[in-house]
Amino acid sequence: MTATTRFGTSRREGHDASAFYDRRLASVEFSSETHTNDLARRLRNRVFERSAEAMEELPDNSIALMVTSPPYHVGKDYDGDGTYDEYLEMLRAVFTETHRVLQPGGRAAVNVANLGRKPYIPLSHHISWLMHDIGFHMRGEIIWRKAAGAAGSCAFGSFRSASNPVLRDVHEYILVFSKGRMDRPDRGENTIAKDAFLRDTLSIWDIQPESARRVGHPAPFPIELPRRLIELYSYVDDVVLDPFMGSGTTAIAAQATRRQWVGYETSKQYARLARSRIRTAAEAVG
């Protein structure tokens, strides 16, 4: 068996990392709770047209996984008009409710991009600390690489000058958290293949972005993104929550992988779009 040394280790099989964790880098309390509640059939596979800041339909400890991409507060037609602090408080309310409805060991995956350039706003950092403050345990951070390189374009700023060069983001983040504990105390049927598991447990995912024009939503994420998360972090027939349903991509990925789902969407227009896309996807597979 290998063990953590001052100079690291080249092997991971049977690795003893107790020396690392004994250093108490963070004060963490894990829960031994295992109790779950069932989500009634009448509440499954539905889009609720209102804010997820109060999900009173959903009982405590009833959701296995949350996968979402919240609005980024950048002036899209679904964004609110409040301040950035008000926006973060809205996210706090939604994710506090998410923490309540997640089962012990339930996971929460948040797709987010950082914002602006004058200055750069590290929204991913703000959400990570917000989730930590709510009581989530962070599992990791996935970099979703949407483009391999500059491909002949750049953000310019001051071109070829140190005066003010500007970085061009070709990635977003997927922040992954757990409620109470890191493992799932229950067991179920897995659907992830060996090659997919080896690929998706790496911290960089190469996935092409979705076309906003094709979907009819200003900021859709590709179905491959929630599908990977769903197969990595949930079992067949688990209920997957998306509190910012948008165009319904999380629900489409859930039904394609034999999971149940529930979503919230404040826009009637996008709720209708989500239901239409979900129905069309279900009909396409018979």
Q: What is the DSSP letter of 208?
A: P
132-185 per-position pLDDT tens digit: 999 999 999 999 998 764 454 555 667 778 888 888 888 999 999 999 999 999
Structure confidence at residue 87 (pLDDT): 94
Q: What's the rounded mean pLDDT across residues 123-135?
A: 96
Is the predicted pLDDT of residue 23 greater than 60, yes or no? yes
Per-residue pLDDT tens digits for 194-225: 999 999 999 999 999 876 566 565 556 899 99
Res 205: pLDDT:
96
Average pLDDT score over residue span 71-98? 81
pLDDT of residue 227: 98
Name the range with the highest mean pLDDT among 22-26, 76-80, 280-284. Answer: 280-284
Specify the pLDDT at position 7.
Answer: 58
Q: According to the model, what pLDDT value does residue 286 have?
A: 66
How many residues are recorded in the chain?
Answer: 286
Q: What is the pLDDT of residue 285?
A: 74
What is the pLDDT, as a whole number, of residue 220? 66
Cα–Cα distance measured from residue 191 to residue 241, given in angstroms and rounded to the nearest whole number: 19
Asked if residue 264 lies in contact with residue 245, where contact means CB atoms within 8 angstroms, the answer is yes
Model pLDDT, residue 209: 83
Helices (H), ranges, 151-267: 194-200, 212-215, 224-233, 249-256
Q: Which two tokens stand for residue 91?
A: 């996210």
* Exposed/middle/buried for residue 19 (C-beta within 10 Å: 0-12, 13-18, 19+): exposed
Residue 248, pLDDT > 50, answer: yes
Nearest 5°: the CA angle 5, 9, 14 is 100
Residue 178, amino acid? S
Provide the pLDDT confidence category of residue 11 given band limits of 50, 70 and 90: low
- Average the pLDDT over 54-75 and give the result: 90
Q: What is the residue-averaged pLDDT of the chain?
A: 88
